A = this chain, B = another copy of it.
Amino acid sequence: MNTTQRTDQQTSAERRRRELLEAADRVVLRDGPQASMNAIAAEAGITKPILYRHFGDKGGLYAALAKRHTDALLDSLRAALDAPADRRERVESTLDTYLAAIEARPQVYRFLMHPAEGSAAQGDQGFDVGKHSAPLLRRMGEELAQVIEERLDLGPDTRRLARVWGHGIVGMMHAAGDWWLGERPCSRQELVRSLADLLWGRLAAAGDRMGGPGF
């Protein structure tokens, strides 16, 4: 019974935790990354200390929240990356998956990418920006690096190149997506093809517009 008891309590606590996370999710969806602990507690129908008992501090709550979304997005990306198709197709499909995700839920995206506001704004407590900034980007970069290293033969420097490229490509995707989300200058597919073209070396291959060495 000791076991069952503990199990019951655990599941109860975990269910509560999930409920709290879902409430927090709703608030973040509505208010963006600046959602206050009070607001989240109110949405969950309880008060602050309970949140703190479950998550330690605001950083903990936000980390837990971010982990859910990050895991979900990473799963989609892995699926796109592992699909049976040639390299270019996979790259385009992965880019498209990411862009579709941020297009579908921009509030969540903003929360994941700019989590700083929620924390370090007032109390200097919580959240070293340099350490926690955009963990999603880091994780995506590392995952992509691993995939590149596993599958590509880049000579003796494969390991280093793969990591640099992983983070670089993810950053390219992120920045282009962020800009695109704000301005909507073209369709998603055009953006995907343009980025893939960039990765496929069209920059180096392009001709100069006029005299001089060109860019």
Contacts and interface: CB of A to CB of B under 8 A. Distances in A.
Contacts of A23: none
Contacts of A209: 150-153
A58 B213 CA distance: 45
Interface in A30-68: 31-34, 36
A116, A127, A199, most chain B CB atoms within 10 A: A116
Interface string A196-215: 01111111111111100111
A133 B178 CA distance: 9
A174 B168 CA distance: 8
Interface in A113-157: 114, 116-117, 119-122, 124, 126-127, 129-131, 133, 137-138, 141, 147-148, 150-154, 157
Q: How large is the interface on A (under 10, 10 to 19, 20 to 34, 35 or more residues)?
A: 35 or more
A205 B168 CA distance: 17
- Among A129, A141, A208, A213, max chain B CB count under 10 A is at A129
Contacts of A84: 213
B90 A215 contact: yes
A13 interface: no
B176 A174 contact: no
A43 to B, nearest CB: 15
B114 A154 contact: no
A90 B213 CA distance: 10
